[in-house]
A and B are shown apart, each in its own frame.
Chain A
Amino acid sequence: MNSRNIIGSILRHFLLLLYLLFLAFPLFWMFSISLKPISEIRSLVPTMFPKKIVFQHYINAFQEQQIFESVLNSTKVGLIAAVGVIVIAVPAAYALGRYRTKLNKGVIGWVLVSQLFPAILIIIPLFLILKSLGMIDSHLGLSLLYIVWTLPFVLMMLQGYVQGIPIELEEAAAVDGASRFQIIWRIVLPLLLPGISATALFAFISAWNEFFFALVLIKSPELLTLPVKLARFTGMEGVVRLGPLAAASFIATIPALILFGFLQKWLVSGLTKGAVKY
């Protein structure tokens, strides 16, 4: 490696490090605030690290708002939404990606148009439909709504992944006598795993962060999800109880981080690495 390459490599890594710091800083800052006493939080000159570490904000967050209960609720709703949307989207994406019909463009257009409507516009009809199904104030109803809400985007994402799988693999399997189901189950699905992981993560995080539907649909305090609970630390005219909010928000990021760590190996692995030799 010549000196020019070494300098280029150092520069690249330095820029990556800066980018990493840029991404990680909000999380670090939130964690730092969650451990500071109120006097330090309100100090005119903020400090990077707490001078004195206190856990009072975590105690407040757990005692006042039962944050742990909401973490479980959000995890449950997020997992149901992620699994549900994948179960529906995978076959639909395969059909859209592999079968060329006149309906394709229409279906994709319809899917995109459905994304144009803001939540506030459709919440009342959705509420009434779920009410007639007896699904108000239930995690199942909320999860169903998240599945419907994220399905168009997940479908579009997965369709791209399906189209990225070389058709030659399926043709080779067909020549070897595999049925359509076997082709999908043994060939397509394993190759689609990175796409499924990415879209499942997207569906989970969308459900995890969603506020408005949860606010309107969930009435029982014990069923509330995290975003609704976090909003309770803000008051009139945007005044915030920063300590408990930072503590609760930090807790809120942990399950998403764990899930991301779990799915990471699928996300970073190549889509069709080594599958076809040209």
Chain B
Amino acid sequence: MRKVLSMMVFLSLLFGLLAAGVVSAEEPVKLKFVSLAWQKQSIEANKEIVKEWNEEHPGVQVEYIQGTWGSIYDYMITAFETETVPDVFHFESAEIVGFAQKGYLTDLSKYMSDDLKNDIVEEAWKTTKTNGEGVYGVPFLWESQITLYNKDLFKEAGIQPATPADPWSWGELREAAVRLTKDTNGDGNIDQWGAGLGLKSPAKKFLRLSVGFGGKFFEKNDSGNYVVKVNQPEKRLMIHHKAMLYDEKTAPISGIGQSGSSMIPGFLAGKYAMIPNVGVWARQQVVVNASDDFNWGVIPPIKADTQDQGVGTQTLSIPSDSKNKPEAMQFIEFFLSTKNMARLAKGDWMLPTRKSTMELPEFTNAGNGWDVALKSAENLIAGPWQSIPGFTEWKNRVGNPIFQLYLKDEIDLKRASEQLERDGNRVLERYYD
């Protein structure tokens, strides 16, 4: 009897182990990945990479979920609070630093390989660190602000475009814009503007470009809290824009209500000879929409005191509530391999952050301005606003409206500066209570 019982116990244990083995073989780890890719090419690239991962890693299967830029903040906040997080999510550095400060994100530094750590540009890493204490996202795409120009109109006006070796200063840009602004039919109205300045959301643009003048807009006070400061370096870019809009009249005032990309149809129609300071991704809009005989080119970042531009990055992060952190990091490493990062950057027409990706021939050739765009990555530095609590609210509620009032000539520079500081500090103070 004892033998029979022992045999039964042994057999049940054996079946149990086998069953567990079968179950574990049948049930791979499942990762949820929220991507914000939205361009057709980019979505396809994302899906293909996920498919390749799933084929190569039967034990760890990734579910691709398409999020949207407009709703990802609310989506993630509710996911964090209700502990229903995806394992990997795509967002931008300025926002994830805030999430990290609230403890929502995993410090990736202990999970990632040296290869990834060393191959991504240091300035890109800086955008995802909080006070140098941890890494809360892997930066994989970023963008510089370049200038698109109409080659035929330049040739007609006898203007030689700037090159990476000989970039334009703001003065040279303005001078070219004056020469390119014309009343072509003699009716007293300007038909061809030198520049199309899309200034619908000027705050981020002004912060990015003011870095070249040494402008930071935020500095720490004696208590170690950030406050808004608008001094001479912060004012210089504002002055250049006002001069182009009102003194020299080389850019239409209607651009104040338009985004950079919405200036593209006018650029293609010859209404604007240049679209200054637009993200590198705007080239895609030109390629898709331009006729075959439209000749266009890319001018490198305009030189202030330097060509430096402040920048944020697109990132991949792992929530601290994820139950599969090592697997999630493995997936990120695969997703952002040298080859895959190239596919993602090409899909979104943005710049990769891996040094090895930047060296690939598809980025170094001259087609569609990739060579100039890629070279401009050397001028990117982590935006000084990256780790400032309340930056997003400052940008939306103070920065954009006050810059717009200034650009519409409804307030002068002095008043704009005072309001940026006073109203901005009221917003920031709440984040230090």
Chain A interface (Cβ < 8 Å from any Cβ of B): 38-39, 42-44, 60, 64, 120, 123-124, 127-128, 131, 136, 211-212, 215-216, 219, 221, 228, 231-239, 241
Task: Report Cα–Cα, A238/B198, bound state, in Å.
Answer: 13
The 17 listed contacts between A and B (C-beta, < 8 Å) are A38-B288, A42-B268, A44-B271, A123-B78, A127-B78, A127-B84, A131-B82, A211-B71, A219-B84, A221-B65, A232-B68, A234-B68, A235-B38, A236-B38, A237-B69, A237-B201, A241-B38
Question: Contacts of A234 on B, CB cut-off 8 Å?
Answer: 38, 68-70
Residues A127 and B82 in contact, CB atoms below 8 Å apart = yes
Residues of chain B in range 139-185 having any CB-CB distance to chain A below 8 Å: none
What 1/0 mask marks residues of chain B from 66 to 83 whose CB sits below 8 Å from any chain A CB? 101111001100110110
- Secondary structure call for the A interface: helix
Task: Report Cα–Cα, A200/B70, bound state, in Å.
Answer: 30
Question: Contacts of B288 on A, CB cut-off 8 Å?
Answer: 38
Task: Report Cα–Cα, A46/B38, bound state, in Å.
Answer: 25
Task: Report Cα–Cα, A65/B266, bound state, in Å.
Answer: 31
Residues B71 and A237 in contact, CB atoms below 8 Å apart = no
| CB contact between A216 and one of B68, B78, B285 (< 8 Å): that residue | B78
Name, among B82, B259, B285, the residue most crowded by chain A CB atoms within 10 Å (CB to CB): B82
Task: Report Cα–Cα, A239/B69, bound state, in Å.
Answer: 10
Q: Report if B110 contacts A (CB, 8 A).
A: no
- A100 → B minimal CB distance (Å): 42
| CB contact between A237 and one of B82, B259, B269 (< 8 Å): that residue | B259
Question: Contacts of B39 on A, CB cut-off 8 Å?
Answer: 235, 241
Residues of chain B in range 72-107 having any CB-CB distance to chain A below 8 Å: 74-75, 78-79, 81-82, 84
Residues B201 and A42 in contact, CB atoms below 8 Å apart = no
Question: Contacts of B254 on A, CB cut-off 8 Å?
Answer: none
Task: Report Cα–Cα, A259/B61, bound state, in Å.
Answer: 41
What 1/0 mask marks residues of chain B from 249 to 287 whose CB sits below 8 Å from any chain A CB? 000000000010100111011010000000000000100
Question: Contacts of A219 on B, CB cut-off 8 Å?
Answer: 32, 65, 84
- A67 → B minimal CB distance (Å): 13
Residues A233 and B82 in contact, CB atoms below 8 Å apart = no
Question: Contacts of B84 on A, CB cut-off 8 Å?
Answer: 127, 131, 136, 219
Question: Contacts of A228 on B, CB cut-off 8 Å?
Answer: 68
Residues B69 and A235 in contact, CB atoms below 8 Å apart = yes
Residues A42 and B68 in contact, CB atoms below 8 Å apart = no
Least CB separation from B285: chain A residue: A42
| CB contact between A43 and one of B32, B265, B285 (< 8 Å): that residue | B265
Least CB separation from B290: chain A residue: A39
Question: Contacts of B2 on A, CB cut-off 8 Å?
Answer: none
Residues B269 and A44 in contact, CB atoms below 8 Å apart = yes
Least CB separation from B82: chain A residue: A127
- A64 → B minimal CB distance (Å): 7
Name, among A44, A124, A235, the residue most crowded by chain B CB atoms within 10 Å (CB to CB): A235
Task: Report Cα–Cα, A182/B157, bound state, in Å.
Answer: 88
Residues A239 and B74 in contact, CB atoms below 8 Å apart = no
Residues B81 and A216 in contact, CB atoms below 8 Å apart = no
Least CB separation from B260: chain A residue: A237
Question: Contacts of A239 on B, CB cut-off 8 Å?
Answer: 259, 261
Question: Contacts of B291 on A, CB cut-off 8 Å?
Answer: 39
Q: Report if B43 contacts A (CB, 8 A).
A: yes
Query: A64-B43, A235-B69 given as contacts; is B78 within 8 A of A124 (CB)?
Result: yes
Question: Contacts of A38 on B, CB cut-off 8 Å?
Answer: 288-289
Query: A44-B269, A212-B74 given as contacts; is B82 within 8 A of A128 (CB)?
Result: yes
Q: Report if B40 contacts A (CB, 8 A).
A: yes
Task: Report Cα–Cα, A241/B201, bound state, in Å.
Answer: 19
Residues B82 and A231 in contact, CB atoms below 8 Å apart = no
Residues of chain B in range 369-410 having any CB-CB distance to chain A below 8 Å: none
Residues B70 and A42 in contact, CB atoms below 8 Å apart = no
Question: Contacts of B32 on A, CB cut-off 8 Å?
Answer: 219
Question: Contacts of A136 on B, CB cut-off 8 Å?
Answer: 84
What 7 A-B pairs are tightest by C-beta distance, nearest first?
Answer: A235-B38, A44-B269, A231-B68, A42-B289, A44-B265, A216-B78, A127-B82
Question: Contacts of A237 on B, CB cut-off 8 Å?
Answer: 69, 201, 259
| CB contact between A232 and one of B38, B79, B259 (< 8 Å): that residue | B38
Question: Contacts of A39 on B, CB cut-off 8 Å?
Answer: 289, 291
Residues A42 and B66 in contact, CB atoms below 8 Å apart = no
Residues A238 and B259 in contact, CB atoms below 8 Å apart = yes
Task: Report Cα–Cα, A162/B72, bound state, in Å.
Answer: 43
Task: Report Cα–Cα, A228/B79, bound state, in Å.
Answer: 16
| CB contact between A236 and one of B69, B71, B79, B271 (< 8 Å): that residue | B69
Least CB separation from A231: chain B residue: B68
Task: Report Cα–Cα, A211/B71, bound state, in Å.
Answer: 10
Residues B266 and A215 in contact, CB atoms below 8 Å apart = no
Question: Contacts of A42 on B, CB cut-off 8 Å?
Answer: 264-265, 268, 285, 289
Query: A128-B82, A215-B74, A215-B75 given as contacts; is B259 within 8 A of A233 (CB)?
Result: no
Query: A42-B264, A219-B84 given as contacts; is B40 within 8 A of A60 (CB)?
Result: yes
Least CB separation from A45: chain B residue: B269
Sample of 6 more A-B contacts, CB < 8 Å, known A44-B265, A44-B268, A60-B40: A44-B269, A120-B74, A131-B82, A216-B75, A221-B65, A231-B68
Task: Report Cα–Cα, A127/B74, bound state, in Å.
Answer: 13
Least CB separation from B201: chain A residue: A237
Residues A124 and B65 in contact, CB atoms below 8 Å apart = no
- A256 → B minimal CB distance (Å): 22
Question: Contacts of A238 on B, CB cut-off 8 Å?
Answer: 70, 259
Residues B38 and A233 in contact, CB atoms below 8 Å apart = yes
- A199 → B minimal CB distance (Å): 29
